[in-house]
Amino acid sequence: MRKLISWSVAFLGLTAAASAADYARPAPPMAPPFTWTGLYVGANAGGIWGEGSFADNCFSNNVPFGLFCQPPLSPRGRDESSWLAGGQIGYNYQVRNWVFGVEADAQATDLTRRASIFLPGAGVGLFDPAGIFANNITFTATQKIDAFGTVRGRLGVAFDRLLIYGTGGAIFANVTTSYSLDHFFATPGQVFVGTGAAVSPLNLTGASSHDSLVPGWIAGGGIEYAFWNNVSLKAEAMYYELQPTHAGALDVLAFNPNNLFGTRTGVDIKTHGFLARGGINWRFWGM
């Protein structure tokens, strides 16, 4: 009987000791909640679309639409699309479910737009109402964007690892604007006003190209999801609008005594459009 009591006491003591050890063992630490706060870098690719008007203008003897000027033309350039690819860097700061951020990106592309008009037998100038100097005119303008970058703010709402955001800011595009105007005086025996002198068919051309960094604005939105703590994928679409670009050309018509200073022509091109792209971000916090 004494042995049974001793064994029972020993068993209860061991059980109590094991229970005490379990209570003393610390619980495993809880994983910290996911946060979008942190610096990130990434890469992206997608497409860009551009449209807008090409406005022709002409000055003769420093007078708008004067002698030897064709009527002002405003053709609409063809809507064009191209690829884009580049990288981005940004920073997010999360307060409860709100995510505030700033992002900058640099992109390469090859967006080219053109407009061309051929005016056969056009009358010329305020001093030629009878069309004695009738000629053929070809007007051509080209705009090419080969690179651009943006600096934008971001404001989003986080649903744990899912982020829905709006974004907007400034865009800067490297734009080359080219312009050419071809005057072909096709009628033999044309007579100069006030001189009576006849001329043979003559071809006069002028062309110029201007390369500049053009500012504008951009805005849109997107969605981003963190598949891992430090890697997220995103998709976004934005609308952009650039300031007008200009290029001019000079046709030297010194053979005409009424137009010794030549005819200066030019084009103003307005561009706006959309871009859509997908990307991947690597976050340096939240690992």
**In the chain, where the domains are located:** 34-283
Domain 34-283: state its class: mainly beta
> Could you tell me the sign of the dihedral formed by the alpha carbons of 154, 157, 159, 162, in that order?
negative
Give the pTM: 0.76
pLDDT tens across 188-212, in order?
444 444 444 444 455 666 677 888 9
Rounded CA separation 110/79 (Å): 14
Closest CA to 117 of 81, 77, 60: 77
Torsion from C-alpha of 250, 77, 237, 170, nearest 10 degrees: 20
**Residue whose pair of structure tokens reads 């290029």 in the numeric block:** 247
Give the number of other Cβ atoms within 10 Å of residue 130's Cβ: 7
pLDDT tens across 231-258, in order?
999 999 999 999 998 887 665 444 444 4
Q: pLDDT 10s digit of each residue in the chain, 287 long? A: 555 455 554 445 555 555 545 555 666 666 678 899 999 999 999 999 998 888 777 665 555 545 555 555 566 666 789 999 999 999 999 999 999 999 999 999 999 998 877 766 554 444 444 555 556 677 788 899 999 999 999 999 999 999 999 999 999 999 998 888 776 655 444 444 444 444 445 566 667 788 899 999 999 999 999 999 899 999 999 999 999 988 876 654 444 444 455 566 778 888 999 999 999 999 986 54
